Structure 1
C-alpha cells in the first residue's frame, strides 16, 4: 500500500498523516533520535511551505543556530535524505524518542517526504520509534519495547528486537557466560516470534574496535547452521491457525504453501510426541504425510484421543539439534484446541 501524506498550513505546527505499509523481506537504514534540548523549531516552524519537505527542514535548520546540538541533529537528519536517495533502503529503523514528541524531532517532516517524494516511497516501511507515545501505535511494524515478544498472534506486524546478551545492547567485558542466550534459548526466541507473525532482530554488541566477541559469533554461527537445516519453517512463513500447542509445551507452529510446521523445542520422552492442536485427514494413510527436516524418510503417526501422535526417529539419525521441525501435509487444526499460555 502506498503511503499518503498531508501537511498543515504555514506557520502552524508541522504535521503529517502517513498510512504505513506492512513489511515483507527488507533491507534497511537505522537512525537515531537527537539529544534533548530546551526547545526546537518543530513546534511552529514559522517558515512558508515551499512545496518540499526537505526545503522546509532546511529552512528550520537555519532558525536554530543558537542551539548547536539541535542544529547538529537537523544536519544529521538531512543526511538521512541523502542516504535514502543513495542506498534506497526498504526499511528505515528509527531508535529512541528522547522523551519528546514526534513533532519536536520533525519526524513528520521526514516521514512525509519518505512516503510521498522519496525514491522508495512505494516500497519503504518504517518502525514505530519516532517520538514519545508513538511506540506500539504508529508504524509499518511495531517494536513496542526492547525484547518485545507477546507470545500470541498480533493484529499488526511487529518485531522482536532482542540481544544475545540478556542484559545489554553493548559489549560488556565483564559479562559472565550465563548472561548470554544459550543455543537452546535462541531457537526458542525465534520460534515463538515467527509463529506469532513477528520479525526478529538479533543484536550482537561489538567491542570498541569492531570485533564480534567469540561467544556471540558462536551463537550466530549455530543459529545460521540451524536455519540451514530448518529455515524452510521460518523464511517466508506465516502464522498457522494455532500458534503453539495446547497439549505439549514448547511446540510452535508456522505454515507455508500448504505445509504446516511444528517447531519442537524439546525432544519428546520415548521418542513419541503428542500434538493436541493437530488432527490428520479423514483418510490419513492417503492424504497425511509427516516428516522431519534434516531426516530422510516419513515418520509414523496415528490419531489418538488427545490429538496426533508422532513417532520420532533416533536422534542420531537426524541432521539437526537444539530444536526440531516437523513438516506436515494433509493435517488440519484441531477444533477443540484450547490456547495455551505463552511460554
Structure 2
C-alpha cells in the first residue's frame, strides 16, 4: 500500500500472491493462503487509494488451481457480486479513508455517488467526515440490504462537515455478505 498521507494523484498497482509464494507450493494450507477477509480489506484499501490489485494465483504443474485458492477466490467473488459497484469503474474520493482504515471511500465515475466501505460493521451510527449533502435530497442505503433507505442527518461548522447515518438494529441481520459492508450515498 501507499504510505499514510500519500496523495494518490497517479494510478498505481500492488502485486500480491494469494499465498506466501509467487509460485505453486503443494504445502499450501488454509493458514498460509491469504484469507478472504484479508484480501477484501487489502483490495478495498488499494482501490480507495487509486490503485489496482494484481492478485497472483499459483497454478500446479498441470495448470490446475489448488482447492484452497479456489475457495478463497469464490468467497472474494461472492463479496464482489454484491458490492462490485463500489469497486469496478470507481474513482478515489476526496479522502481514501477515515477512522484508521475502518472506513474507506470510493466514488462513481460521474461523481454522483460516494461509497463508504466499512471493514467493521457500524453499531449505532456511521459518521462520515467531510461529506455534506447540502439541501440535496441525498439517499443512503447499505448495498445488499434490499435498498432500504437509511435515516441521515448532517452538520457543518466553521471548519468541518459531517454526515451521520443512523444504523437500525435489524440492518446487521439484513446483510448478505461478510468482511466489509458498503453504504451507498447518492448525492
Cα distance between partner residues in 2 of 1:312 and 1:231 = 22
Give, in whole Å, the separation in 1 of the partners of 2:130 and 2:40.
22
Q: State yes or no: 1:326 paired with 2:183.
A: yes
Equivalent-residue separation in structure 2 for 1:163 and 1:208 (angstroms): 17
- Aligned residue for 2:74, secondary structure, equals helix
Partner of 2:152: 301
Task: Provide closer, same or farther for how the CA distance between residues 216 and 271 of structure 1 changes in structure 2, counting only shifts above 3 A.
Answer: farther
Contact 2:132 2:155 in 1 (8 A): no
1:290 Cα offset (Å): 0.7
Contact kept? 1:280, 1:288, Cα under 8 Å: no
Aligned position for 1:183: 36
Structure 1, unpaired ranges of 5+: 1-148, 331-343
Q: 5+ residue gaps in structure 2?
A: none
Task: From 193, 196, 206, give the equivalent of 2:59.
Answer: 206
Deviations 1:164-195 (A, max 9, x none): 11x21112222342222111111111111111
- Counterpart of 2:36 in 1: which secondary structure? coil
Q: How much is the aligned-residue C-alpha RMSD, in angstroms?
A: 2.0
Checking the alignment, whether the CA contact within 8 Å between 1:248 and 1:274 is kept in structure 2 is no
TM-score when normalising by structure 1: 0.48
Deviation at 1:263, TM superposition (A): 1.0
Q: Does 1:291 align with 2:145?
A: no
Q: Going by fraction, where is helix more abundant, 1 or 2?
A: 1
Q: Determine the structure 2 residue equivalent to 1:73.
A: none
How far apart are the structure 2 equivalents of 1:249 and 1:202? Answer: 21
State TM-score, norm by structure 2: 0.84
Q: Does 1:279 align with 2:131?
A: yes
Q: How many residues align?
A: 176
Q: Is 1:253 aligned with 2:105? A: yes
- Tell me, yes or no, if the aligned pair for 2:24 and 2:60 is still in contact at 8 Å: yes
* Aligned position for 1:196: 49
Return the offset for 1:248: 5.8
In structure 1, distance between residues paired with 2:118 and 2:48: 12
Q: What per-residue deviation string (whole Å, max 9, x for no partner) do you get for residues 33-69 of structure 1? A: xxxxxxxxxxxxxxxxxxxxxxxxxxxxxxxxxxxxx
Q: Is the 8 A contact 1:292 1:327 kept in 2?
A: yes
- Relative contact order (C-alpha < 8 Å, sep 6+): which is higher? 2
Question: Do the aligned residues in 2 keep the contact of 1:153 with 1:197 (CA within 8 Å)?
Answer: no
Distance in structure 2 (CA, Å) of the matches to 1:292 and 1:248: 21
Tell me how far apart the structure 2 counterparts of residues 248 and 163 of structure 1 sit (CA, whole Å). Answer: 25
State the match for 1:11 in structure 2.
none
Larger Rg belongs to: 1
Asked if the contact 1:153/1:243 (under 8 Å) is kept, the reply is no
Offset at 1:289? 1.1
